[in-house]
């Protein structure tokens, strides 16, 4: 079966590699080369790099217009496989594939439909998440389910670690779905619309910490916004990133929310929240290196007893 793979970031790399080993991947659709880094060097997407190394024809259209459809038509692909391509496919584009298209979505659909399901699961405090291979439809994330895999959550995961897990475990799941479609054994399951929930794109300002919120909620923010946009506050008017923390919901100092109350050698720097203490294990002042709690306190006089977040700059 001839496959067109569509994807852009690294999360799709293991899937492209596995599919090109097992099936006939006749082309790759990815985002155009973009400038990045301090030098603003123009670079191909991670998916483009893999495709080019493997000699797979690569297409980088700015729009999925008539020319893009003509290019794809020439490939005679039977199935479209998508992992984080970043665009919605219209009916004319999906109509080019006799067997339709499938998409890997890193949640247990219909829960957390939308563009940021991994941080959404962490922010919601879900006790499990998962991976879903669904048929592509005209509306986002509403297609019939081909196969799912459940992933229990311990409450320590970050978006970074779950993205790595989704990349690694998603690849064989997609390959399994493709094989089922190829040999005609796929049993499609419609999604239960009554259980649908939705998430939106993450914005930079989502990382701003409101210390009046509870320690559990702030701990989820720290984990959900790793690696971006990071949970952050201020100390003496300087941006301060909270990189790792743990909620102590049953502990309270009686201080105002945002006040740094002390240091616990086992847990970290203690900050009072609206409900419970947040134990900060790793933090970073703007333009400085990330530091553990003890090391940070040694070089930051006046931190204990200060109130965080009173002068936070909301930079876009």
Structure tokens at 246: 């743990």
pLDDT score, position 24: 98
pLDDT digits (tens, 9 = 90+) for 102-120: 999 999 999 999 999 999 9
Average pLDDT value for the chain: 96
Range scoring the smallest mean pLDDT among 36-45, 57-66, 165-174, 263-272: 36-45
Cα(137)–Cα(105) distance, integer angstroms: 13
Query: What mean pLDDT comes out for the span 74-82?
Result: 98
Burial class (CB in 10 A: 0-12, 13-18, 19+), 45: buried
CATH superfamily for 204-298 is: Formyl transferase, C-terminal domain (3.10.25.10)
At residue 311 the predicted structure's pLDDT band, cuts being 50, 70 and 90, is: low
- CATH 3.40.50.170 location in the chain: 2-195
- CATH 3.10.25.10 location in the chain: 204-298
pLDDT digits (tens, 9 = 90+) for 143-198: 999 999 999 999 999 999 999 999 999 999 999 999 999 999 999 999 999 999 99
Q: Mention every residue, 6+ apart, whose C-beta is less than 8 A from residue 247.
A: 214, 215, 216, 218, 219, 276, 277, 278, 279
Task: Give the domain 2-195 fold.
Answer: Rossmann fold (3.40.50)
Cα(276)–Cα(257) distance, integer angstroms: 9
pLDDT score, position 41: 83
Q: Reply yes or no on whether the pLDDT at 69 is more than 50.
A: yes
Which pTM does this prediction carry? 0.94
pLDDT score, position 313: 43
pLDDT score, position 79: 98
pLDDT digits (tens, 9 = 90+) for 282-304: 999 999 999 999 999 999 999 99
At residue 37 the predicted structure's pLDDT band, cuts being 50, 70 and 90, is: low
């Amino acid at each position: 079966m001839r496959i067109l793979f569509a994807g852009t970031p690294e999360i799709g790399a293991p899937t492209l590699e596995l599919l090109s080993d097992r099936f006939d991947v006749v082309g790759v659709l990815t985002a155009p080369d973009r400038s990045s880094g301090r030098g603003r060097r123009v670079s191909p997407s991670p998916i483009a790099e893999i495709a080019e190394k493997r000699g797979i024809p690569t297409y980088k259209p700015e729009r999925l217009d008539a020319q893009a459809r003509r290019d794809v038509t020439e490939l005679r692909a039977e199935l479209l496989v998508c992992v984080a391509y970043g665009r919605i496919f219209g009916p004319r584009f999906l109509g080019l594939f006799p067997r339709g298209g499938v998409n890997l979505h890193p949640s247990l659909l219909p829960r957390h439909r939308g563009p940021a399901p991994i941080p959404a699961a962490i922010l919601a405090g879900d006790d499990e998440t998962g991976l879903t291979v669904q048929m592509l439809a005209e509306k986002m994330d509403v297609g019939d389910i081909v196969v799912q895999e459940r992933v229990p959550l311990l409450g320590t995961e970050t978006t970074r670690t779950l993205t790595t897990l989704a990349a690694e475990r998603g690849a064989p799941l997609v390959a399994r779905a493709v094989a089922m479609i190829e040999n005609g054994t796929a049993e499609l399951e419609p999604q239960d619309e009554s259980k649908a929930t939705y998430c939106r794109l993450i914005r930079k300002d989502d990382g701003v910490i409101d210390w009046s919120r509870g320690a559990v909620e702030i701990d989820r923010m720290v984990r959900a916004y790793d690696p971006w946009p990071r949970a952050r506050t201020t100390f003496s008017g300087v941006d301060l990133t909270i990189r790792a923390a743990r909620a102590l919901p049953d502990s309270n100092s009686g201080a105002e929310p945002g006040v740094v109350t002390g240091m616990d050698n086992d847990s970290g720097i203690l900050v009072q929240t609206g409900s419970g203490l947040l134990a900060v294990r790793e933090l970073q002042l703007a333009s400085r290196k990330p530091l553990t709690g003890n090391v940070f306190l040694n070089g930051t006089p006046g931190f204990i007893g200060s109130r965080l977040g009173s002068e936070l700059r909301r930079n876009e």
